[in-house]
Structure 1
Amino acid sequence: MKAMAYVSITPLDKGESVSQYVSKAVKVIKESGLEWQLTPMGTIVAGETTKEVLNVINDAVEALEDCNRISISIKIDYRKNREGKLTDKVDSVMKKL
């Protein structure tokens, strides 16, 4: 894993509770084969390249075809010479506590 993205995909035209729509996007991410982790505020997706990760995010957005307006927030961390798992960063901080 060299590229990691934190993404929040939220429809703006579907009322207050949007979990049924968010779950459609998360399903695409889950089925992509990339490493991922759901959080209360978004989803983390990890892959070998930013292109790979961004393509999965794009597919997740496109899965919400029944939404007219979607808010998408993305934060990307790319580290060229890094291998590891999604949990490595958290484990590193927890060991220091």
Structure 2
Amino acid sequence: MVLLEMSVTPLGVGQSVSEPVAKCVGLIAQSGLPYELHAMGTIVEGELSEVLALLQACIELMAADHPRVSCVAKLDYRRDARGRLRGKVESVERRLQQADRSAEATP
């Protein structure tokens, strides 16, 4: 499975890009793949071929309305794990809670 973090943004459209970005997020939602939107991009989980095809589709969707598009993408490929979209965050949160409990127990 792969986690793909991506940000696909049109250039030269002014201060706000929320409308064109919303179109890409709509496409991501239609894909059926698990995803999370955050302030600087979107993370999608799926097979390598699925997430790469989705990235291409988002770029092409944005390029249909805008002559120039910027894309930043980061992949985390791991064959032996699923459900990492939330699992990675939950693992860190558990460790933070353990650290907080340890700090409270120290005299």
TM-score class, shorter-chain normalisation, is: over 0.9
Greater mean alpha carbon deviation, residues 32-41 or residues 84-93 = 84-93
Distance 1:54 1:22 in 2: 18
Q: Which runs of 5+ in 2 are unaligned?
A: 97-107
Q: Which has the higher helix share?
A: 2
Bigger Rg over Cα: 2
Fraction of identical pairs, as percent: 42
| Equivalences, count | 95
Amino acid paired to 1:83: R
Aligned residue runs from structure 1 range 32-71, under 5 A: 32-47=31-46, 49-64=47-62, 65-71=64-70
**Segment drifting more, 28-37 vs 56-65:** 56-65
Which fold has the larger relative contact order, with Cα–Cα distance below 8 Å and residues 6 or more apart in sequence? 1
- Aligned-partner Cα distance in 2 for 1:92–1:45: 18
Q: Cα distance, 1:62 vs. partner?
A: 1.5
Q: Secondary structure at the match of 2:81?
A: coil
Q: Report the Cα offset of residue 86 of structure 1.
A: 1.4
**What CA distance in whole angstroms lies between the structure 1 residues aligned with 2:19 and 2:50?**
25
Q: Please give the per-residue CA displacement for 1:21-77, whole angstroms capped at 9, x wherever unaligned.
A: 111111101110000000000000110x21110101111121121111010000000
Q: Distance in 2 between matches of 1:63 and 1:83?
A: 28
3-state SS of 1:46 partner: strand
Moved over 3 A (4+): none
